[in-house]
Amino acid sequence: MDEVEKKTAELTAALELLTQSYDDTLEALGSALELKDAETAAHFQRVAAYTISIAKTVPVSREYLEVLARAAFLHDTGKMAIPDKILRKPGPLDDSEKLIMRTHCEIGYNMLTRIPFLREAADIVLAHHEFFDGTGYPRGLRGEQIPLGARIMLIANSLDSMLSDWPYHNALPVSHAREEIRRCAGTQFDPKIVEVFLSIPESHWILLRENIGSPLRLTHLKNMGLVPE
Ligand SMILES: [Fe+2]
Ligand SMILES: [Fe+2]
């Protein structure tokens, strides 16, 4: 091995170690929110897994996939600052409560953007409730102004929401959730990503949902073969 090769190998090993400690840091952030709301932590893990599945089918680069996995895992971090009486309200929120709830995008962004290795993920977190037709929040971005990762994550986030039981609505079967996502192509969702999503068989989501549970860690998620057949 020549000197350059040796140095490169050393650098790669050091970078791998560094990435591992980064992921440990963000898992610590994730568990801080888990203390507040255990259901939210399970939601982070599922949204991360669904986001990875869709992103791999798009496909995106390996580097972007990692940014996206971190963003998905941390997308609702800003909810740490939302009062419990709103976060855990057993019914729909009124208008003033909705306004407070919506601030979780900026709060999450402000927390994460200060951490250099999470800066790109922070941009996706800020945009995770933007709609393709410009009717989302916080900035009312439209179409390709919305980062690709946020357009992918919006579908993953809605899918998980529809497949879950809530205090005021029951979980939908995967076939209904798929139809609903198809119906909202071009309004909420990027039609091109909807097409990618619909190319993934129903059985993939059923299997994935059954096999995800605490204490699955982010690093395991990334190593799992989440590519659909
Ligand atoms: Fe959110
Ligand atoms: Fe969410």
**Can you give the pLDDT at residue 71?**
92
Residue 54 token pair: 């869709």
167 CA → ligand 1 middle, Å: 17
**Can you give the pLDDT at residue 43?**
82
**Can you give the pLDDT at residue 73?**
85
Sign of the CA dihedral with 96 first, then 90, 126, and 112 last: positive
Distance CA 84, CA 5 (A): 54
107 CA → ligand 1 middle, Å: 11
**Can you give the pLDDT at residue 207?**
84
- Ligand nearest to the Cα of 51, by number: 2
Q: H/E/C letters for each residue in 168-206? A: CECCCCHHHHHHHHHHCECCCECHHHHHHHHCCCHHHHH
75 CA → ligand 1 middle, Å: 6
Distance CA 22, CA 119 (A): 13
Residue 153: closest CA among 228, 49, 33, 27? 49
- Ligand nearest to the Cα of 78, by number: 1
**Can you give the pLDDT at residue 193?**
98
22 CA → ligand 1 middle, Å: 22
Average pLDDT for runs of 10 along the chain of length 229: 70 63 69 65 84 94 90 88 87 94 95 88 97 98 98 97 83 95 98 98 88 56 45
215 CA → ligand 1 middle, Å: 22
- Indicate the residue type of 72: A
- Ligand nearest to the Cα of 50, by number: 2
**Can you give the pLDDT at residue 21?**
66
- Ligand nearest to the Cα of 47, by number: 2
